[in-house]
């Protein structure tokens, strides 16, 4: 048996109708290369995994890794990459937007130059964004600038989800990769402790024909999370940072609501204050649910329970915060420092408690078949 030289890892979510044409294109492009394809599917409700498995029964090059109760592009890629023994590993989208015809060139560059990585780029001469929407192009440029700061590598397309790595490089960095969000390439490069030896091959991003993009504007938050993780991640958990940002936003919101109720509508102060608190807590809950805990987002009935535990935790947090501030102030600490300490302790409390109650990593999820996106 000839050993597999190249593994192509393809993350999928609701791509059922793209699998067959994709495999056919790979077959044509990878003639003469011993390859295997590993699809990592997050239990797509459209049955992508089952359809792909049906193909793999007669095509020994194809394997399916179906993850249950999980979502996430980066972690899907990482797990697929660790499921192969091939010396060279490609990552590519499963929607035919990446031009598979450049794979052989990428592979031969990787081998010839003893490089760590070859990236398919849309931002070099000969490549292009296709008809990517204008705002996505601008976002991509901003992302490029930010990525240079965390990765110390001048990739022309750090957001690319299309690249080939040398297995040794992967093994060198995998333990430091964060695996959150969808920026798998940046994650790998930023996890390296030495300069990464890389080359770039230009291509034109194709238009999506079937299905829809799963990356919406909120993935920007995940990008921020990855950047934070790679910069201040050792000091402050990025999730706590975002939780605090949301909290600050909530505080600004409550000042506005209080102003409206008390000053404009002339409501009784205690009443205005109580309503304000509930509005702010509710807003914070929903913001945290869709931003800070996007990966564990509560839906349906769980929202109600989540909201209740969130209220309870915040209520206790507020009491603790006030008590501490009072105690410090009584002991001669200036009022602003006492207040700030109270707030900080309250924030840590709220974060700690809600992360293990409201957004506890639910075990039951494993038994819930087919979630919606
Ligand atoms: N397993 C798994 N889990 N796969 C996923 C998930 C997920 O949660 N979300 C998306 N995918 C798969 C899709 O099925 C597709 O094969 C691939 O990941 C890319 O997803 P798209 O939804 O098509 O992303 P895009 O076309 O908007 O974004 C592309 O361009 C970005 C550049 O801005 C991708 O190549 C990104 O990687 C790239 O960063
Ligand atoms: Mn796509």
Q: What is the pLDDT of residues 23-37, one digit of tens each?
A: 999 999 999 999 999
Cα–Cα distance, 40 to 65 (Å, whole number): 5
Name residues contacting ligand 1 (CB within 6 A): 11-13, 15, 40-42, 71-73, 76, 93-95, 97, 140, 159, 161, 182, 213-215
Query: Domain ranges in the chain?
Result: 6-232, 238-365
* Highest mean predicted confidence (pLDDT) among 119-128, 217-226, 289-298, 347-356: 347-356
H-type alpha helices, 201-237: 219-231
Ligand in nearest proximity to the CA of 41: 1
Q: Is 370 helix (H, G, I), strand (E, B) or coil?
A: coil
Q: Quick one: what percent of the chain has pLDDT higher than 70?
A: 92
> pLDDT (tens digit, 9 = 90+) per residue, 337-368?
988 898 889 999 999 999 999 998 754 444 44
What pLDDT score does 65 carry? 98
Lowest-confidence segment of 99-103, 195-199, 294-298, 356-360 by average pLDDT: 294-298
> pLDDT (tens digit, 9 = 90+) per residue, 228-286?
877 887 788 888 988 999 999 988 998 899 899 988 998 888 888 888 888 999 999 99
Q: Which atom of ligand 1 is nearest to the CA of 98?
A: 35
User: Which two three-digit tokens encode residue 226?
Assistant: 């990855």
Ligand in nearest proximity to the CA of 132: 1
Q: Does domain 6-232 have CATH number 3.40.190.10?
A: no
What pLDDT score does 221 carry? 73
H-type alpha helices, 83-233: 103-112, 134-151, 167-173, 184-190, 219-231
**For residue 119, how far is its CA from the centre of ligand 2 (angstroms)?**
17
pLDDT at 302 over 70: yes
Cα–Cα distance, 112 to 132 (Å, whole number): 33
Q: What is the DSSP string of 92-113?
A: --SSS-S-GGGHHHHHHHHHHT
Exposed e or buried b per residue across 213-246, where buried means at least 16 C-beta atoms within 10 angstroms of its C-beta: ebeeeebebbbbbbbbbbeebeeebbbbbbbbeb
Q: What is the pTM of this model?
A: 0.74
What pLDDT score does 310 carry? 95
């Amino acid at each position: 048996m000839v050993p597999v030289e190249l593994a192509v890892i393809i993350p999928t979510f609701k791509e059922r109708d793209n699998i067959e044409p994709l495999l056919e294109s790979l077959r044509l492009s990878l003639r003469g290369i011993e390859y295997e394809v590993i699809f990592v599917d997050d239990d797509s409700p459209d049955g992508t995994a089952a359809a792909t498995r049906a193909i793999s029964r007669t095509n020994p090059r194809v394997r399916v890794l179906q993850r249950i109760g999980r979502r996430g592009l980066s972690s899907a890629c990482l797990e697929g990459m660790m499921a192969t023994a091939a010396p060279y590993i490609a990552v590519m989208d499963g929607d035919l937007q990446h031009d598979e015809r450049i794979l052989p060139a990428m592979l031969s560059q990787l081998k010839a130059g003893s490089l760590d990585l070859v990236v398919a780029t849309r931002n070099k001469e000969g490549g292009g964004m296709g008809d990517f929407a204008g705002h996505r192009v601008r976002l991509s440029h901003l992302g490029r600038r930010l990525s240079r700061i965390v990765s110390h590598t001048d990739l022309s397309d750090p957001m690319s989800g299309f690249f080939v790595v040398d297995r040794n490089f992967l093994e060198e960095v995998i333990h430091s990769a964060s695996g959150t969000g969808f920026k798998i390439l940046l994650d790998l490069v930023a996890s390296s402790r030495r300069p990464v030896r890389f080359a770039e091959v230009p291509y034109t991003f194709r238009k999506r024909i079937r299905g829809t993009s799963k990356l919406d504007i909120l993935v920007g938050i995940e990008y921020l999370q990855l950047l934070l993780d790679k910069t201040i991640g050792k000091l402050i958990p990025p999730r706590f940072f975002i939780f605090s940002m949301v909290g600050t936003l909530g505080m600004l919101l409550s000042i506005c609501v209080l102003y409206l109720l008390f000053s404009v509508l002339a409501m009784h102060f205690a009443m205005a204050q109580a309503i304000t608190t509930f509005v702010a807590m509710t807003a914070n809950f929903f913001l945290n649910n869709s931003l800070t805990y996007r990966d564990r987002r509560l839906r349906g009935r769980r929202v109600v329970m989540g909201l209740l535990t969130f209220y309870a935790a915040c209520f206790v947090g507020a009491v603790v915060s006030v008590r501490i501030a009072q105690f410090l102030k009584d002991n001669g600490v200036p009022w602003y420092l006492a207040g700030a300490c109270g707030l900080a302790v309250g924030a840590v409390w709220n974060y700690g408690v809600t992360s293990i109650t409201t957004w506890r990593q639910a075990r039951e999820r494993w038994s819930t078949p087919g979630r919606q996106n």
